[in-house]
Amino acid sequence: MDINPYRSGEQVLIQVPVASATVIDKGDQVALSAGKAVPLDSTYDTSSAAAAIADAGSNAFLGIAMDASASGDTDAIKVDISTSAIYEFDLYAAAAVSVGDMMTFYAGVSGDNMTAQTITADTTASFATCVVVEEHSSAAGTPTKVKMLEQRILSTLLT
């Protein structure tokens, strides 16, 4: 999609090399795999239940790609690991969202992978990767402002 979802706030950018034969779009949620950046939406393409995909994804989440990388490029890209920057991602399904609601990246159903730049409510808060910072009641596909949760980013950097 190559869309910049950044809206405001302080960013903390780090340089992360990209795994070969990997395509990363600007604005993708990025995971760290063997020290290389990979798009979170392609990392957990399994036949597991959606909850298992969401759990694996939220525990590997690194940050938001600020640069794109074409297949075959291995140059480092900038990844924002800030927990104070505000981002805007599309809602997967219609929902009324309130400030403080926990969200996670949409993991689909069994056999699906995570969906790039799309979020959904996390009613248990066990897979949450971000929190809503602007209330609204909207249809699927509506941009929703969130900030990333520190514990998800730190757990990836410290493992």
DSSP, residue by residue, 26-59: TT-EEEEETTEEEEHHHHT-SSS-HHHHHHHHHH
Q: Which of 32-46, 72-86, 95-109 comes out lowest in average pLDDT? A: 32-46
Report pLDDT for 152: 61
Q: What angle do CA 143, 149, 152 make, to 5 degrees?
A: 120
- Cβ-contact 39, 113 below 8 angstroms: no
Residue 155 has pLDDT above 70, yes or no: no
**Amino acid 47: pLDDT:** 46
pLDDT (tens digit per residue) in 4-51: 889 999 999 999 999 888 889 898 888 888 888 888 766 554 444 444
pTM of the model: 0.80
